[in-house]
Each structure stands twice: as C-alpha cells, then as structure tokens.
C-alpha cells in the first residue's frame, strides 16, 4: 500500500534529482579556469549526499512499513539468467579494458570518446583527487540509481500501471534525470535505463544491474579523463 511519503519520495526522485543535476552542470559551465578543480569535487560530494539520502529514505520507509525487500529487487536469485548476464558483463569489461589500454596511443579512439562525452566534459575528472571521487560517485550511481529507479519507482508505478508500462515510465524518468546532458543525453540514458531494466528482469534482482551501471560510469570517467587529457597535452 502506498503512503503520502511514497508520493513525496517519487517527487524527490523524479523532480529533485534532475534539478540537482541541472544545477551542478550550470555551476560547472559558469566556472572558469583553475576554479573548476575546486568546484567539481564539491559537486561530486553534493551528488553523493543526495543519492544516499534518498536511498536512506527508501530504506527507512521500507522498515517502517514492514515491506518485503524483494519488492525492491534486493533478493539475490541464483540461476541461468544471472549467470548469462554476468558472462555478458565479463565480456564487455574485457573489451572496455582493451580500449583503456589503447586510448592513449590511438587518436581516432580518443576522438570518438571525446565526441560521445562532449556534453559532460566539464563533469569529468581531470586529476587523481577528482578521479577518486568520481569513482566513488560511479559506484554510488550504480547502487543508488538502480535501487531508486529499477527498484523503488518500478515498484511504485506497478501499483497503477501494467509491469511494462511501469518499466517504461521509470526508464523515461531515468533519462529525464540526465537532462543536463541535452536531448541526446536524455535519449541515450533512457535507452540505458531500458537496458538495465532488462538486466533486472533476466537476472531476477537489482545486483547485476547495479554492477553493470557502476562499470559503465567507471569506464566513462576513466576513458573521458584520458581522451580529454590527450587533447590538452596535444594542444588540439
């Protein structure tokens, strides 16, 4: 049974998270020169705080209402679906690792990465301190955003929509949450949200999707740092 607090949480996730992300991107766009290396870590910290706070709110509500954790997709289901998903993730990780080793010596790969990540260049880490915080943020996004979108919102929307309608709505809201990346970013992250929903369905729980999401963000941060650093060093 849904409560008024559920409705507040849905608004916080569906409206609050996009507004926080838009604020952060606009702050980065207004910041110039060396000040970026001070502003970026603070915004990373702001994102960490908001996401974990929302997860804590969901967990607190779950405990207060004595809800089954399986409703959030937090029951590990061992089976062929999970094994298949993990095998696929292992293969994709190997390919990404090979690209990581090649990016510093392949200008064409650098250009492709810069083109793909151009909209979020100012958000990407540029030094070791920022990279450490970005890695924490990537893992946080993997855990928290999967629980909030593929777990909580999917559970809420399933109360008044058929499952596939609920799945489509939460994936769309996931895309809208990345509106700071522009229209292309909304489209690509909506597709990513649909893919991660499929991972949850096939594997039977959120855990594989959390891993996949974290790996995608970790790879983007690392590849982006290397690609844009190569351009700066080359003076291009």
Q: What is the DSSP string of 141-173?
A: IIIIIIIIIIIIIHHHHTTTS-HHHHHHHHHHH
Angle 147-25-130 from CA coordinates, rounded to 5° = 75
Q: H or E element: which one contains 113?
A: helix 107-117
Q: Look-up: residue for tokens 């996004």?
A: 141
* DSSP secondary structure, 192-221, as one string: HHHHHHHHHHHHSSSHHHHHHHHHHHHHHH
Report the alpha-carbon distance of residue 136 to residue 120 in Å, rounded. 18
What is the spatial distance between Cα 140 and Cα 132, in angstroms, rounded to a whole number? 12
Q: Residue range 65-82: average pLDDT?
A: 92
The answer to whether 82 touches 204, Cβ cutoff 8 Å, is: yes
**Separation in Å, CA 187 to CA 32, 116, 206:** 29, 13, 22
* Extended beta strands in 40-187, E state: none
CA distance 201 to 64: 27
pTM for this prediction: 0.93
Mean pLDDT along residues 91-102: 87
Do residues 166 and 157 touch, judged by C-beta distance below 8 A? yes
Cα(75)–Cα(97) distance, integer angstroms: 30
Which band of pLDDT confidence, cut at 50, 70 and 90, is reported for residue 233? low
Give the whole-angstrom CA distance, residue 74 versus residue 60: 15
Residues 200-225 have pLDDT tens digits of 999 999 999 999 999 999 999 999 99
How confident is the model over 105-114, as pLDDT tens digits? 888 988 999 9
């Amino acid at each position: 049974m849904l409560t008024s607090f559920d409705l507040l949480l849905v608004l916080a996730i569906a409206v609050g998270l996009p507004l926080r992300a838009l604020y952060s991107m606009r702050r980065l766009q207004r910041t110039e020169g060396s000040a970026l290396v001070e502003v970026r870590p603070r915004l990373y910290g702001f994102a960490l705080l908001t996401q974990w706070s929302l997860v804590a709110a969901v967990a607190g509500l779950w405990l207060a209402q004595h809800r089954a954790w399986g409703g959030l997709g937090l029951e590990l289901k061992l089976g062929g679906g999970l094994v298949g998903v993990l095998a696929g993730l292992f293969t994709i990780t190997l390919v990404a690792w090979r690209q990581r080793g090649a990016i510093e010596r392949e200008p064409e790969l650098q250009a492709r990465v810069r083109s793909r990540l151009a909209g979020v260049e100012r958000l990407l880490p540029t030094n070791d301190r920022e990279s450490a915080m970005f890695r924490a943020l990537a893992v946080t996004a993997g855990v928290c955003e999967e629980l909030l979108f593929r777990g909580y919102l999917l559970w809420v929307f399933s109360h008044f929509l058929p499952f596939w309608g609920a799945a489509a709505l939460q994936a769309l809201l996931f895309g809208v949450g990345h509106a700071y990346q522009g229209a292309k970013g909304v489209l690509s992250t909506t597709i990513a949200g649909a893919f991660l929903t499929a991972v949850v369905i096939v594997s039977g729980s959120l855990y594989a999707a959390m891993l996949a999401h974290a790996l995608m963000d970790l790879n983007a941060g690392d590849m982006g740092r290397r690609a844009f650093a190569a351009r700066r060093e080359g003076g291009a």
